[in-house]
Amino acid sequence: MFRKMNLPNKLTMLRIILVPIFILILSIPESFFELIKIPKVYNYMGYAAIVVFVVASLTDFLDGRISRKEGIVTKFGKIMDPLADKLLVSAGFIMLTGIGLIPAYVTAIVVFRDFFVTALRMFGSDNAKDVAAGISGKVKTLFQMLTITFALLNYSLIPEVGIFGFITESLNLNVFELVVNVTMSVTVVFTVITTIWSFIDYFNRFKEDIDVEN
């Protein structure tokens, strides 16, 4: 199957494969490394998660760019590429909520928007409308990716300090840690704003296509 795939679709599949690896890395408890007598390894698991997430994010950028440049469009890509994006982003926010860095309501907003917009796109597709990502979707994705990246970096450096931690912990953080925590906090706010904006934008684009009779 993989031999028959074009390069963009191979990159999409790579992104999907990296998602469970990303989840596994953040799921391993510190006690596991203490059990095997190498507790310091746990300090680097956040960095490993960053590497996996950044590589997965780059495949998203590359498969889209190659597809546009080479004019490669397949049914497989149309279905699996947005699915891979949603799996990666949802996994990132869910795992960050699980380790206590991202509030649950932020993750709920992100996941709800993705599922609902997927349904809206299906309605639009049935009516032969252009369902390509608009500017709101692209901006939303940018802030979501930045949020996950800086949250993982925050987790690696100062796991005990959550969003807006700089307000009370600024005297206990060095300059780099302070910048990371401030950036993470700001991107979380913009993630919420742009995700809601994107939801409203897509709803307005496809609300006339919602078929409640068939």
| Beta carbons within 10 angstroms of residue 43's beta carbon | 13
| Beta carbons within 10 angstroms of residue 68's beta carbon | 11
Spatial contact of 140 and 195, defined as CB atoms under 8 Å apart: yes
CATH code of 191's domain = 1.20.120
Asked if residue 73 belongs to a domain, the reply is: yes
Give how many domains the chain has, as a whole number: 1
Q: How many residues are recorded in the chain?
A: 214
Asked if residue 214 belongs to a domain, the reply is: no
Asked if residue 89 belongs to a domain, the reply is: yes
How does pLDDT run along the chain (214 residues), one tens digit per residue? 556 678 788 888 999 999 999 999 998 877 776 676 665 565 678 889 999 999 999 988 887 778 777 777 777 777 788 888 889 999 999 999 998 899 999 999 999 998 888 888 777 766 666 656 678 888 998 999 999 999 999 998 898 898 999 998 888 899 999 999 999 999 999 999 999 999 998 888 877 767 666 6
Dist. CA 45–CA 68, nearest whole Å: 35
Asked if residue 96 belongs to a domain, the reply is: yes
Closest CA relative to residue 162, chosen from 180, 148, 181 = 181
Residue-number span of the structural domain to which 30 is assigned: 2-209
**pLDDT (0 to 100) of residue 44:** 77
Asked if residue 21 belongs to a domain, the reply is: yes
Give the pTM: 0.87
Spatial contact of 71 and 8, defined as CB atoms under 8 Å apart: no
